[in-house]
Amino acid sequence: MRFFIIIILIISSFSPELSIAQRLQQDGIAKNDKSHKLKEPILIIQPKNMRSEVIMMVPGAKKTVYSAGYLGELGVTPFSAEEFRGEFRGGWREFRERALLATKSHLKSIKPIYVRDSLGKIEYALIQSENPSIIAAIKTSQFRDLFKDKFGDNLLVVMPNRSTIIIFSADKNRLNAYKKTFYQMYLDSIYPVSREVFLINAEGLSVIGDLKSP
């Protein structure tokens, strides 16, 4: 009987330790699940000199690249090459599709501001958003459709920082009046995107100029 009591005491003394170990294991699984869920893919557009392990070139660009990132607890974070391979078995194509899916959804809620001249003619459209996925909206067909009626089939786009997109018709003279201002916005940005000027047309997206050039 005494031996039986000792055995029970020994087992009960280990039970809390087993329980704690189980709880730690469950907490670790929960944290891993949470970390995985937080990795909402973001198609980043950024200066070429910013270091990222997963990048793609932008057609015609000299100073701008696409980068693969995700929305984590600390904001937008670039994927490491190892993380990217593990997360996207289909490579860049799969990543782009998943990233743009969220961007398309966000684009529906955007209400552009139209800046007009003294005669009431639209100078440009302005999009500002705290959602870091908004910059990738320029890669969607919905973006071009949104401005076709007001600016025509060809759009000129400037993105000095992650929260700002500026859209013009394909009239460089109109854009030239603002280039110095937009370039300064780029220089002052905590999260710069590009000093280059983008063209969006039926063929897609490409770079056709630089805000710093005359």
**Pair (91, 176) in one structural domain:** no
**Pair (97, 124) in one structural domain:** no
Mean of all residue pLDDT scores within the chain: 85
Q: What percent of the chain has pLDDT over 90?
A: 67
CA distance 8 to 69: 54
**Pair (90, 69) in one structural domain:** yes
CA distance 206 to 155: 11
pTM (two decimals): 0.80
For the segment 91-101, the average pLDDT, to the nearest whole number, is 95
pLDDT the model gives residue 102: 84
Q: How many domains does the chain have?
A: 3
The residue out of 90, 107, 124 marking a domain boundary is 107
**Pair (148, 95) in one structural domain:** no
Q: Range of 133's domain?
A: 113-210
Question: 24: exposed, middle or buried (C-beta count within 10 Å: 0-12, 13-18, 19+)?
Answer: exposed
**Pair (9, 58) in one structural domain:** no
**Pair (4, 70) in one structural domain:** no
**Pair (12, 84) in one structural domain:** no
For the segment 62-73, the average pLDDT, to the nearest whole number, is 93
